[in-house]
Amino acid sequence: MESLLVLTLLSSLWAFLAGSACCQRPAVVNIGAVFTFDSIIGRAAKVAMEAAVSDVNADPSILNGTKLNLVMADTHCNVLVGSIGAFQVLEKDVVAIVGPQSSVVAHMVLQIANNLQVPLISYAATDPTLSALQFPFFLRTTQSDAYQMTAMADLIDFYEWKEVIMIFVDDDYGRNGISTLTDELDKRMFKISYKIPLPSHFNLSEITAILNKSKLLGPRVYVVHVNPDPRLSIFKIAHQLDMMTSDYVWLATDWLSTTLDSVRLVQQTSINILQGVVVLRQHIPESSQKTTLWSRLRKMLPEDSRNSSLNVYALSAYDTIQVVARAIDKFLNEGRSITFSLKNKFHDLNTSRMPWGKLKIFDDGALLLSILLQANFTGLSGHIEFNSDRNIVTRGYEVINIDQTGLRSVGYWSNVTGFTIQSPETLKQKQISYSHLNQTLGNVTWPGGKTEKPRGWVLADNERPLIIGVPHRVSFVEFVTAVNGSHKNIEGYCIDLFNEARKLVPYDVPYRLIPFGNGYSNPSYDDLVKNVANGIFDAAVGDIAIVTNRTRIVDFSQPFASTGLVIVAPIKNSKSNAWVFLKPFTVEMWCVTSASFFMIGAVIWLLEHRVNDDFRGPPKRQLMTVILFSFSTLFKTNQEATVSPLGRMVMVVWLFLLMVITSSYTASLTSILTVQQLSSPIKGLDDLITNEQPIGYQVGSFAYSYLTESLYVPRSRLVSLGSPEEYEAALLKGPFRKGGVAAIVDELPYMELFLSGRNDFGMIGQPFTKSGWGFAFQRGSPLAVDMSTAILKLSENGKLQKIHEKWFCRMGCPAERRRKSEPIQLHLVSFWGLYLLCGAFSLVALFIFLLRIVRQFARYIRQQKESSQAELVSSNSNSSWTQVIYKFIDFVDEKEEAIKRLFRKHDTQNQANR
């Protein structure tokens, strides 16, 4: 029993001692630093990290009782040396690595850190591809180039430069940065037109050759993304090559601001070289702590580096040490111990030359990483907090302009507000809300000392003029042609228009016109446009139709002439026709009008026969009266006057109808007699397609492809024609002779010029395509937009019409001679309301008349029955009804006055009998 009690006490004591040993804070914690000592960033970062370690060890609130030890290794900006340095640091049981500053070295070192589960925190590696997804143990306390390239793309967009030239160092840092910028520019419909990669260690002759070559390009906006260079080699050579003038724009990423910030006193020579450059700089809020720190750091620098100054990466390096120290402190405060394990992939690779077996896995590296990600405090470089990508939350960028006075801030950028002239912390303090819609920057002094925004591109200069292709036409030369095939003597409507438009472009455009074609037949306009797309020509000027397949490969200017495909065929004049007076009315209209004359004559006769002596007499006379009465009203020669109220009512409506009909007939007949009516066997496009007859087209025109590809006309039916004379000969031969055609399909301006002075041919119908002529330019050419604006100005000030009259109105402008689809005729549908009104009045009048007659006849029959002289009615009902009908007809034929006398007489007799 006693032995068991002793064993229990010993076990408890052992557990207590073991736990105390486990939870005891270590005396020293090692962290590594892998970077290039002798570099602009490295020199400042080294003293900054040493100062940070000193401050941490002197601060009892951080790592109280534990000393932070910094183990440094020089990478010499080399991947292999950097990897060896990382191994040397990791052998010291470091719990985190600060650095490396180079993105190239970071890719390799991160592979090692990930395998050993050691968090790696970089203060200078800005490569956007260093992502948390690929490298889970990677963090950075500097801003990723993903933000910087977004800021650069916004800057290019702010000044509306469509194309830029990119100069970059050809490594992971440069290539990945340029790739990000390309994506951002694509979102804004801009592009990098030319990329200039530089080796990591370039020489002056290489830069000179590359920049000289770039002078031949159109864009003049350069974006420079290289490593910090204290010699400013690129700008010195650009200055020697006269590339720092007012025609150029130079933009630089933060490598240049870092370089200039790292030199305490910038020489005036460097300022002169860099005048007009706009550069981005990571925004660091001003603070007294930052000023105090730099005073300390200057004293820590070597003697030969005392002229150096503070840059943002030094502050980030200082804050990185603070982040790591605070995370280790929290890690230890949670009772965790720092332990390493030899179970790793390198253990079995131990050799005498490379001690791989000494590399250990940090057992709680993932836990320390999670604590690091929880960082949330304000350091000297600004607020320290990591986002979901394990990058520092962006603090934005400052836009710096270099002028004669030195570096001058012109604004700030953040991914929330865009460009503003107030710093982000000022906006936050004043609670001012900005949006991307109200972006603004201060005045910028551009290269050459000008304050006006440079155009950013040069289309051509005297050394390399714009090469413009011109169709060498052999027919319709009024539009454009090369006289004797010489590029010095090219004239025509299109050339005059181009020259006038060029005068309205706000810059000089040196150019050279090159004839395109063999001079024996009209060239293919599709081939001309393809040569522009392929870069053989910079542009094409001429009568070039803007059609779909061409707009896919080049940019066109605003159309300067409206056009479309039309049909031209032989015609004959049908104006001198003996029966032309019948054309104003359709057959239906003539039939209804003629019938109405007879109907009105019959109605008026019925209404007037009993009361008007003019409508009585022998049957032959009454028949003629019915036939001629309505026609006589047409010429106002009728001798018969209406007496009855019903007859007069019908006549009023009839005369109104007659007035409308006659005036409309007169107007239509006048139009037919004064306007030439043309007739042709081809009535329109459908007839042309279905009649299987030959169709002519102009050589080189897009009419051929349209007829075959869109209208599916067999190629065997198409006959190529090269000149107006060939047009005329083919049309005169007709479709049934060899070489003849039934019609020609070509563009409207050509056909108007062809028909000028030719009366045997005419246009059939309307243009069946809608298009226009424009000048062709390479895709993205700024001249396309400026020429479009110039063409609109020419149209507004009337010069466009004057140029047209100069070339096509010497003998009178070509008249538009288009055949109407059908004669101008009046249809019944236009007058059916009037006829309906007249018929309705006539029927109402007849109904009232018949009702009155029936009443009188019934009274007459009653009187006959009451009369003692009435004859007995036969017992045969059919005979009785026949007699009644005959009596009714005789009654109607009687004069109204006679019937009234008979009624009065009967009434008198009845009174006498009473």
Tell me the pLDDT tens digit for each residue of 29-67.
999 999 988 888 888 889 899 999 999 999 888 888 899
Q: In this structure, what are the phi and psi dihedrals at residue 587, rounded to the nearest 5 degrees?
A: -60, -40
- Which among 267-281, 850-864, 898-912 has the top mean pLDDT? 267-281
Tell me the pLDDT tens digit for each residue of 704-726.
888 888 888 888 889 989 888 89
Question: Band of the pLDDT at 13, cuts 50, 70, 90?
Answer: very low
pLDDT of residue 764: 82
- What does the alpha-carbon distance between residue 531 and residue 554 come to, in Å, rounded to a whole number? 10
C-alpha dist (Å) from residue 508 to 182, 433, 436, 459, 532: 30, 43, 35, 9, 21
pLDDT of residue 822: 45
pLDDT of residue 682: 76
> What are 195's two structure tokens?
């990329």
Q: Which value, to the nearest 10 degrees, does the dihedral of the CA atoms of residues 754, 756, 762, 766 take? A: 80
Q: Is 50 exceeded by the pLDDT of residue 818?
A: no
pLDDT of residue 866: 62
Tell me the pLDDT tens digit for each residue of 135-163.
889 999 999 999 999 999 999 999 988 88
**Average of pLDDT values for 437-453?**
88
Q: Which residues contact 545 (CB under 8 A, 6 or more apart)?
A: 525, 563, 701, 702, 747, 771, 772, 773
Residue 430, Cβ density class (10 Å: 0-12 exposed, 13-18 middle, ≥19 buried): exposed
Q: Is 633 helix (H, G, I), strand (E, B) or coil?
A: helix
Q: Is 140 helix (H, G, I), strand (E, B) or coil?
A: strand
Position with higher pLDDT, 817 vs 35? 35
- What does the alpha-carbon distance between residue 776 and residue 545 come to, in Å, rounded to a whole number? 10
Laid out side by side, the sheet with 565-570 consists of: 718-721, 695-698, 743-747, 565-570, 761-764, 818-819
Q: Is 54 helix (H, G, I), strand (E, B) or coil?
A: helix
pLDDT of residue 18: 42
C-alpha dist (Å) from residue 211 to 131, 204, 223, 236, 241: 34, 11, 13, 11, 8
CB 544 within 8 A of CB 473: no
Question: Band of the pLDDT at 311, cuts 50, 70, 90?
Answer: confident
pLDDT of residue 299: 76
Position with higher pLDDT, 374 vs 481? 374
Q: Is 90 exceeded by the pLDDT of residue 16?
A: no
Across 212-314, where does the E strand assignment appear?
Answer: 221-225, 249-252, 278-282
Alpha-helical segments (H) within 138-267: 145-158, 172-187, 204-214, 233-240, 254-261
- pLDDT more than 70, % of the chain: 79
> What are 193's two structure tokens?
């037109």
Q: Which residues contact 63 (CB under 8 A, 6 or more apart)?
A: 29, 56, 57, 325, 328, 329, 332
- What does the alpha-carbon distance between residue 833 and residue 661 come to, in Å, rounded to a whole number? 12
pLDDT of residue 20: 44
> What are 642's two structure tokens?
């209406």
**Average of pLDDT values for 433-437?**
62
pLDDT of residue 30: 93
**What is the number of other CB atoms lying within 10 angstroms of the CB of residue 26?**
15
Mean pLDDT of the chain: 81
CB 363 within 8 A of CB 312: no
Tell me the pLDDT tens digit for each residue of 116-136.
899 999 999 899 988 878 888
Of residues 232, 238, 192, 246, the one with CA closest to residue 215: 238
The region of weakest confidence among 550-559, 601-610, 696-705, 863-872 is: 863-872
Helix axis angle, 254-261 to 312-333, nearest 10°: 90
Tell me the pLDDT tens digit for each residue of 186-226.
998 888 989 999 988 878 888 899 898 888 787 899 999 99
Position with higher pLDDT, 822 vs 803? 803
Q: Is 90 exceeded by the pLDDT of residue 178?
A: yes
Tell me the pLDDT tens digit for each residue of 721-743.
988 889 889 988 888 888 889 88
Tell me the pLDDT tens digit for each residue of 492-544.
899 999 999 998 887 778 889 999 988 888 899 999 999 999 989 999 999 99
Q: Is 80 exceeded by the pLDDT of residue 11?
A: no
Position with higher pLDDT, 425 vs 17? 425
Tell me the pLDDT tens digit for each residue of 218-252.
789 999 999 888 888 899 999 999 999 888 999 99
DSSP element (H, E) containing 482: strand 481-482
> What are 599's two structure tokens?
């109907």
Question: Band of the pLDDT at 338, cuts 50, 70, 90?
Answer: confident
Residue 411, Cβ density class (10 Å: 0-12 exposed, 13-18 middle, ≥19 buried): buried
Q: What is the identity of the amino acid at 87? A: F
> What are 136's two structure tokens?
């889970």
pLDDT of residue 876: 42
Q: Is 60 exceeded by the pLDDT of residue 874?
A: no
pLDDT of residue 22: 45
Q: The whole model's pTM is what?
A: 0.66
- What does the alpha-carbon distance between residue 276 and residue 251 come to, in Å, rounded to a whole number? 9
- pLDDT more than 90, % of the chain: 25
Peptide bond between residue 100 and the one before it cis (omega within 30 degrees of 0): yes
